[in-house]
Amino acid sequence: MNSSYHIAYYNGKYIPESELTISPNDRGFLYGDGVFETMRTVGRRIISYKAHYDRLYDGCRRSDIKLSTSLSDLRTIIDDLLIKNKLSDAYVRVTVTRGSGDQFGFGYSKDIKPSLLAVVRQSKIIPDSLYEKGVKIDFQFSSMFNSHEKTGKTKSLSAQPYVIAKQKALDKQCYDMIFMDAFETVYEGTASNIFIIKNGMLLTPPLEAGILAGTTRARVIEIASQKLNIPVTQTTFSKSDVLQANEIFLTNTNIQVLPVTQAEKAIISSGKVGGLTQNILQTFRQSLIEILE
């Protein structure tokens, strides 16, 4: 479906996207002053819906944005959008900005009313070849981490560093760019959490390092520790650890569990998808019904 025919939800109304207008005074447009959440539906059921809503609500709270849309109200909006757009398996993007104000400048009125935009798109099919052969990643220095936020970072609209890094990855024919600090401590990808397997143990950076609290990340930790009896440690590790890992994979709502077989110039697991990664991916898919809400 062409985007001009999509129906969106914006501040209480269902509107064709071609007719939707956003105020030039909206702080999300002016300053990236807002948060967002991306979800995925399967058969019009949402993967880990409450976890996504909780992260959206928490991001608004930490940004001092008063989200008045409840868990059930947002679900109704999403259900209506799926029906109006005749979609079943879809991506859902919910954006909440601080709203429109009369004054320019970073300061804002406490009485400003937030704006909420929700749009849906047909799910894209990820080629099986990516899961069979794995993907390539590269590394980039960043000063965005070690924030010591115990619950992880918010999904802020101020995402330009991620946009630029993702494009650099694509230009280098990589799936994603992995951020690291000046000491080559590894954190996350532009839109993914990273896991490595070394000596039978599953490692992933902790939330305290300032990474995003991915919903798929949390599910993978649960699957590995409770269903597959794989020991899991949430700890920081270095680029060198990644290059010498037995297996690597990335996670997010879209890709689920995506194997990595090349990191920079290093070939991982002889260029083949590792056994533990395969088991985690298979178990994730087989148990997906458990987290459809």
Percentage of the chain lying above the pLDDT 90 cut: 88
pLDDT band at 87 (very low <50, low <70, confident <90, very high): very high
Provide the Cα torsion 208, 152, 194, 48; round to 10°: 140
User: pLDDT (tens digit, 9 = 90+) per residue, 129-139?
Assistant: 999 999 999 99
Q: In terms of pLDDT, which residue wins out, 108 or 262?
A: 262
pLDDT band at 65 (very low <50, low <70, confident <90, very high): very high
pLDDT above 80 (res 31) = yes
pLDDT for 217 equals: 98
**Mean pLDDT, all residues of the chain:** 94
Residues 6+ apart with CB under 8 A from 168: 138, 140, 177
CATH topology classification for 128-288: D-amino Acid Aminotransferase; Chain A, domain 2 (3.20.10)
User: pLDDT (tens digit, 9 = 90+) per residue, 230-268?
Assistant: 999 999 999 999 999 999 999 999 999 999 999 999 999
pLDDT above 60 (res 195) = yes
pLDDT for 2 equals: 53
Q: Domain coordinates of the chain in residue numbers? A: 3-122, 128-288
pLDDT above 80 (res 64) = yes
Listed in sequence order, the DSSP H helices in the chain are: 27-31, 49-62, 71-84, 128-133, 160-171, 215-222, 239-243, 275-286
The residue with tokens 């990335």 is: 250
pLDDT for 153 equals: 77
Tell me how far apart the alpha carbons of residues 258 and 158 are, in angstroms, rounded to a whole number: 26
Tell me how far apart the alpha carbons of residues 156 and 142 are, in angstroms, rounded to a whole number: 17
pLDDT above 90 (res 25) = yes
Given this chain, do its domains 3-122 and 128-288 carry the same CATH topology?
no
The residue with tokens 């070849």 is: 129
pLDDT band at 111 (very low <50, low <70, confident <90, very high): confident
pLDDT above 80 (res 145) = yes
Q: What is the CATH number of domain 3-122?
A: 3.30.470.10
